[in-house]
Chains A and B, each alone.
Chain A
Amino acid sequence: MKNKSVLEEAEDIRRAVEMVSLGARMQMLEAETKLSRERLLRIYKEVRGMSPPKGMLPFSTDWFMAWQPNVHASLFMAYYSHFAGRPGLTSLESIIKAYNLYLDNIESGSMEPVLSITRAWTLVRFFDADLLQLAGCQTCGGRFVAHAYDPVQDYVCGLCNMPSRAGKGKRHRAAVRKARKAIA
């Protein structure tokens, strides 16, 4: 597909730059803009100063089911669903807005972002393809990412019912220590 209008191309370049600076991979850029692969490669190199990583994107929905990724993905989806239904917003704009809010939240808690923009984009595509659904937790009422067609009548989220090893990693522990110090 080639761009006919110069203005559309400029808009595509702006979008591509925004996505690259958020850390998007080439596959996402190619799907969301009409720019040629060569141009996207040049944009990527100019913005990041290195070649994009090669290889395929992760394609399994299972990644989103592990405890930590699930929490982060659910947070992103909570923001995304606010934007998704709004008129005048494309899906990509909604993803970028929701991802920025997600990053703000993660940074304010001095945590490390677990969900990359490409993962977030894949997540939305999984939802569009009906591979995932949002399940309401019976205890807290929050909505969490779950496999589509899983029974969810008595779903309890990973935060209400934390697995015993959850949040025991080195990095998580460091963030907890910092947060405890800030409270005390």
Chain B
Amino acid sequence: MKRRDFQQEIKELNLAFLMLAQQMLNDDRESAMLRLGINDEVADLVESLSGPRLVRMASNQMLLPSFRFDDANLLGLMAGEGRDPVSATLHAAILAAGKSSKE
């Protein structure tokens, strides 16, 4: 059986992620930092990346975006588990925003 290495997919996702992050940071730096879950240092780095450097960074075999919240309870709420999906979503949003600003 042929081994799938997902390299192309990872590269595409990384590139899309980095470009989105750059756009978000240019648009509204503070909100983008909260949504992306990154600190000032990383934000500066991502913002300053030139096109070729961005592509180079994206070609890494590791996926750059990762699961942010190391909390199965919170991720479950985000997926709408709970008494009803609407309040679960709100609950997840409150917890996520709280965690994100503590990071």
Whether B95 pairs with A71 at a CB distance below 8 angstroms is no
Q: Which of A82-124 contact B (CB under 8 A)?
A: 82-83, 86, 89, 97, 100-101, 105, 109, 111
- With known contacts A140-B73, A141-B95, A82–B34 Cβ distance under 8 A: yes
Whether A179 pairs with B84 at a CB distance below 8 angstroms is yes
Whether A78 pairs with B86 at a CB distance below 8 angstroms is no
- In addition to A86-B30, A89-B30, 6 A-B residue pairs with Cβ atoms within 8 Å of each other are A78-B98, A81-B101, A82-B101, A142-B91, A143-B94, A175-B86
Which residues from chain B contact A101 at a C-beta distance below 8 Å?
31, 34-35, 97
Residues on A lying within 8 angstroms of B by beta carbon are 71-72, 74-75, 78-79, 81-83, 86, 89, 97, 100-101, 105, 109, 111, 140-144, 159, 162, 166-167, 172, 175-176, 179-180, 183
Q: Which of B23-79 contact A (CB under 8 A)?
A: 28, 30-31, 34-35, 73
A168 to chain B, nearest CB (A): 10
Query: When the two chains form the complex, which single residue of A79, A83, A109, A144 contacts B86, counting CB atoms closer than 8 Å?
Result: A109
Specify the main secondary structure of chain A where it touches its partner: helix
Which residues from chain B contact A81 at a C-beta distance below 8 Å?
98, 101
B2 to chain A, nearest CB (A): 35
Which residues from chain B contact A111 at a C-beta distance below 8 Å?
86, 90
**Which residue of chain B has its CB nearest to the CB of A81?**
B101
A110 to chain B, nearest CB (A): 9
Q: What is the size category of the interface that chain B forms with chain A?
A: 20 to 34
- With known contacts A109-B86, A179-B80, A78–B91 Cβ distance under 8 A: no
Which residues from chain A contact B31 at a C-beta distance below 8 Å?
97, 100-101
A96 to chain B, nearest CB (A): 10
Whether A79 pairs with B85 at a CB distance below 8 angstroms is no
**Closest 6 A/B residue pairs (Cβ):** A78-B97, A82-B101, A179-B85, A159-B91, A176-B84, A142-B95
**Which residue of chain B has its CB nearest to the CB of A172?**
B86
B36 to chain A, nearest CB (A): 12
CA of A83 to CA of B84, assembled, Å: 30
Which residues from chain B contact A105 at a C-beta distance below 8 Å?
90, 93
Which residues from chain A contact B83 at a C-beta distance below 8 Å?
162, 167
Whether A179 pairs with B86 at a CB distance below 8 angstroms is yes
Which residues from chain B contact A78 at a C-beta distance below 8 Å?
93-94, 97-98, 101
Query: When the two chains form the complex, which single residue of B93, B95, B97 contacts A82, counting CB atoms closer than 8 Å?
Result: B97
Which residues from chain A contact B93 at a C-beta distance below 8 Å?
75, 78, 105
- With known contacts A89-B30, A97-B30, A183-B80, A74–B86 Cβ distance under 8 A: no
